[in-house]
Amino acid sequence: MNGREVDWVENETVKQLLKRMKYTFPLVVVKINDEVVPRNLFDQVTIPDNAKVAVIHMISGG
């Protein structure tokens, strides 16, 4: 996850992973193996073993 090794948990969803990693930012773009995961599927999509997960959080300002 973001280049860091994280223990894999079977059937863990994106939402659960974000919570476990203590991501408090509500606005994130998540990619699993370079595929964007839409936010409305965070509680349905599970993380495959050995997946490359990238989390980027968006901060207001522009």
Residues that bind other proteins (CB under 8 A): 27-29, 31, 34, 36, 38-39, 54, 56-62
Q: Where are the alpha helices (DSSP H) in the chain?
A: 14-20
* For other proteins, the closer CB: 11 or 50: 50
Cβ nearer to other proteins, comparing 2 with 20: 2
Q: 10: Cβ–Cβ under 8 A, 6 or more apart, which residues?
A: none
Point out which residues pair with 32 in neighbouring strands: 35, 53
* Distance, CA of 42 to chain centre: 8
Task: Pick between residue 2 and residue 9 the one whose CB is nearest to other proteins.
Answer: 2
Nearest-approach distance from CB 10 to other proteins, in angstroms: 25
